[in-house]
Structure 1
Amino acid sequence: MVPHLVTALTGPINELEQRVLDSMPAIERWFRLEWMEHTPPFYSSVDIRNAGFKLAPVDTNLYPAGWNHLTPEMLPLAVQSAMAAIEKICPEAKNLLVISENNTKSTFYLSNLAQLQRIFHLAGLNVRIGSIDPDIKEPTTLQVPGGGSVLLEPVVRTRRRLGLKDFDPCTILLNNDLSAGVPGILEDIHEQYLLPPLHASWWVRRKSNHFHSYEEVSKRFGKLLGIDPWLINPMFNKCGAVDFDATASAGLDCLRTNADALLTKIRRKYKEYGINEKPFVVVKADNGTSGMGIMTVRDVKDLDDLSGITRARMATGKGGRLVDEVIIQEGVLTNERINEAVAEPVVYMVDRYVVGGFYRVHADRGIDENLNAPGAHFVPLAFSESMRLPQPGEKPGASAPNRFYMYGVIGRLAMLAASYELEATDPDAETYD
């Protein structure tokens, strides 16, 4: 299913789709050469927004949940990609330990774990799920909606290795983003593969580093296609000293200054392209996920009258972590609809391959608001249909394979940026004078 696109079949986004389709051989060669030099994240998901005049990633997750939203038709490609990823890292791998989030009260998250276990089991691995939650002291069976169950087992640490009772894995896959910190039980593991690495966790990682890398990638890709990189890149500023305390108005000076500067840059771009929309920026915790610590700013004056509720909501991220660093990101409208509700595509990848995705849909949110919020539901992308190759010659916006190919290109650009980001922030990387 392709959602109803409010935008007409003319203008920048459809010109971009045409340019991408016409350049497909050059694009695939470009990615192939990049992956000869860089290592893709083990798995990732990317939130994308289609404004009709630009198509850009707005978030990249290196510990993706939501695998339960992939359809059965998507699983063969996910399994093949998992096989490829494991073979590169540990060809002789027999056992895989998946480490879950500590909060397993969400039945959706349990379904996600069950799907991950299914994918890697079909890839030829013995898969068990471990927990570093101190409340999980013995094997615990939790029921999954629709039937089935997930067995959570307490993780056991020896001097050099991590595993479960009577289970010694070659590879450990984190599905816990470690927003609240990196526990000692995961540190100094030298004899096993820990994926993703600890510096990919939200305790260490910063969105601003990622989008700095993405800006570099988009410029290089824009040069390849002969397009303005802004068409695929959300501009951003960073503020590393914010105090959302209700009594500390001075703590928002940095935020005001950077938001105002970014809104001015967006207005210039809108004028250049004749876009009759009101610019906005999105303020997010620089280290965080789960749709927490996010607000939309349309006018810098909005920051002068933040309510106590808004300040409190922005001050604390996932795991109760204090938010004192924010990224101010160019707001990208979403003009996609499913049954009149706003929608945004989310693309899922394993290794360097797009394996599927879905639309995040929210009936109670506007085109300029965050959709990763309570009340959202999910509609699978028709990637089963897009197993056909893209169809050059079809009218832009009218073909599911063509539109999803473009989504996949943007997703892979964000994944490549994550690769650059992790290389640049690797604490163990060698440096040369």
Structure 2
Amino acid sequence: MSRPNSLVARFYAFKLTNASGFYLPIYFAFLQDKGFDLAFLGLLSATFSFSLVAVEIPTGYLGDLVGRRGSLAIGAAVRAAIMVAFPFVPSKAGYLVLFGVWATGWAFRSGTQDAWLYEVLQSTCDEDEYARVDGRANAIVLGTSAVAAVLGGVLYTVEPAAPFLANAALALAGLPILYSFPAVETAGDDERFGVRDAVALLRAQAHRPEVRWFVAYAAVFATAFAATRPFEQPMLRAVGVPVAGLGVLYAGFKLVSAGAASLSGTVEDRLGVGGAFAALPAIYGVAFAAIAVVPLAAVPVVFLNRAIRTLTRPIQNQYLNDRLDDVGRATVLSGASMALSLVSGTGKIVAGRVTDVAGAVDGVASFGVALAALGAGIWLAVDPVRSSSTPEASGDAVDATATSD
């Protein structure tokens, strides 16, 4: 089956409205300029991560119950509202609430967006194209964010609120594009699929080794990405990168990640899921060890960390989608995202303590090497990537006995 060009082009346009480059390079600087210290910025990051855990199941359930487009529309509207409010919040308590609401809007898009794309492709052309289409869409988002990052820095010097308002307008532009897509009916829209079914479904999927161990393995390297990001700026400054150079590096991060995202389908075709994920412990182990030996290696390792995460995420989602049925797909994907967020949030706390004792450079290096060793141990012990792709997420599977090891 061929991909309808118009459908894919509209999906790319919708994904473009998810770009966050206007505010990302400056929003921590904005908060620091308001007088907030780094400890509070870390607390905000943790608030987002753990709030995401708390809302992933209910928002994923809503995606299955009320439809994908409605859930994505809510996510876009919440994001726009957050961006409009961000420059004007007067207190620490207000920002803690804001980050909690922000996580809710993010969760409306996470598992739901992945399930929605898979089902649109499934109903109109070929779901096997998921990794390729999603990878290229991510490349477009990252390229747009790189350009927006430069513009955001310029806008910030003119009016500090301008980058946030620009991102709000971009988010709202996605709504008419979203509703130009054909409606996709799935068994997940059946009103009989209730909260108990959602919880039972997650429990059943957690008992499937090809799902459970893959999510555990993926969580290790999601943590390597998420838990080291808060310390990138201190680490880069410690090895001699000036503050002015961080903005240029940020645009570079996006461009390199865009190139990596466009290769997701090719990497999956040539290496398969097993080959792509088997290489991660060695790559991360060597990369983070290099920082301890040659601190300037922190610069290319930051690029590498972002590129790997961007390249492997569509392959990760393809693997999970292939093992799920239509009923509850968004709920299960949101449950997986919840697990990744919980592990990553905990990792941020651990990484913070390690870097506080060892310093930014040595702390990030030792934390990364430890995660690589943990990933290698999981790979050798339980074989997390398994060939079985038989969906077990149908209505009958909710009450069925789960597969055991």
- TM-score normalised to the size of structure 2? 0.21
More strand by share: 1
More helix by share: 2
Higher Cα Rg, which structure: 1
Q: Indicate the structure whose relative CO is greater, using CA pairs within 8 Å and at least 6 residues apart.
A: 2
